[in-house]
Structure 1
Amino acid sequence: MKIEYQPIGTIHSTFTEPTGMPIQPAGALGIQGTVEIFPEYRAGLQDLDGFSHIILLYHFHRSHGFDLRVIPFMDTEPRGLFATRAPNRPNALGLSVVKLLDIQGCTLPIANVDILDGTPLLDIK
């Protein structure tokens, strides 16, 4: 079975490298970024302004390979990959809950961003 996804936009943040980036939104309180939705998906933003937070599903575009046991950041014990948020995964999918600040056409200003700049957005929930 072949599964393919096409990005619906791009996530922008101040983080150009994983070093120093928060490892989850709780550690990124107040850090702002934007989501740029490609124009052909703009109509899908209708009624999103009623939400305080959105879930971003994205592709870890700088992830390469994976190990099924990892030592998470700020831990000393090896853990099963699926019990962590490690970005190197069999399917390089990421998920973050961020605060929706506004909707400006195809641009969504967001806060609590723990995502690398240029990350391909796959979906919004």
Structure 2
Amino acid sequence: MEFKYQVIGVIHSPFREPRGVPIQASAARGIRGSVEVYPEYADGLKDLEEFSHIILLYHFHRAKPGKLLVRPYMDEEEHGIFATRAPSRPNPIGISVVRLLRINGNVLHVEDVDIIDGTPLLDIKPYVPEFDVREVERTGWLEKNVHRLEKTRDDGRFT
């Protein structure tokens, strides 16, 4: 089965190349960008300004074709692609939770951006802690590596 999605906008950030980009939005604190929603989708932004954070779903347009076993940024061992957030995936879909600063027309001004400039936007959803935050018991192989998040950056291995 195959699906087709419409690109609804483009994400702008200070990152022109993958190398050096923080690998998660929580490690991109204070980095600002914007999300240009195409005019034909602008009506869909109604009431979004009432949320402090939003979820951006996007296409990893610069990622090379995915493998099922990868060496992720925060480990030296190979892991199954579905046990990582690596951008080279069977369906190269990215997700980031960013702070929504303001909306001007069809442009969203955001902060905590870990996305390459020019990335195609697939969808926007409001972030709601009561829906999205879960208490977890384990975080797999990342338990021993999550302390490296703040200093880990894209090194180009997936492009």
TM surpasses 0.5? yes
What is residue 121 of structure 1 aligned with on the other side?
121
- The number of aligned residues is 125
Percent identity of the aligned residues?
62
Give the 3-state SS of the residue equivalent to 2:94 in structure 1.
strand
Deviation at 1:70, TM superposition (A): 1.0
Which residue of structure 1 aligns with residue 73 of structure 2?
A: 73
How much has 1:73 moved relative to structure 2?
A: 0.9
How far off is 1:54 after superposition?
A: 0.3
Amino acid at match of 1:12: H
In the TM superposition, 1:52-67 aligns within 5 A as: 52-67=52-67
SS of the residue corresponding to residue 97 of structure 2 reads strand
Higher relative contact order (CA 8 A, sep 6+): 1
In our comparison, the structure showing a higher alpha carbon Rg is: 2
Q: Which amino acid aligns with 1:67?
A: K
User: What CA deviation, in whole Å up to 9, does each residue of 1:35-91 have, x standing for no partner?
Assistant: 000001111000001100000000011122111111111311111111111000000
Mean Cα deviation higher: 89-98 or 77-86: 77-86
Q: Distance in 1 between matches of 2:41 and 2:101?
A: 19
CA distance in 1 between counterparts of 2:6 and 2:61 reads 13
Partner SS state of residue 96, structure 1: strand
2:74 equivalent to 1:90: no
Query: Could you list the runs of 5+ residues in structure 1 that have no partner in the other structure?
Result: none
Q: Aligned Cα RMSD in Å?
A: 0.8
Q: Does 1:13 align with 2:13?
A: yes
Q: d(CA) in 2 for partners of 1:66 and 1:108?
A: 30
Structure 1 residue runs of 4+, over 3 Å off? none
Deviations 1:82-106 (A, max 9, x none): 1111000000111100000000001
Partners of 2:113 and 2:57 in 1: CA distance: 13
Runs of 5+ consecutive residues of structure 2 not aligned to the other structure? 126-159
Query: TM-score, normalised on structure 2?
Result: 0.77
Distance 1:26 1:77 in 2: 23
How many Å apart are 1:20 and its aligned residue? 0.5
Q: Could you tell me which residue of structure 2 aligns to residue 102 of structure 1?
A: 102
2: CA distance, partners of 1:98 / 1:38:
19
Does residue 112 of the first structure (1) align with residue 100 of the second (2)? no
Name the structure where helix makes up a greater proportion of residues.
2
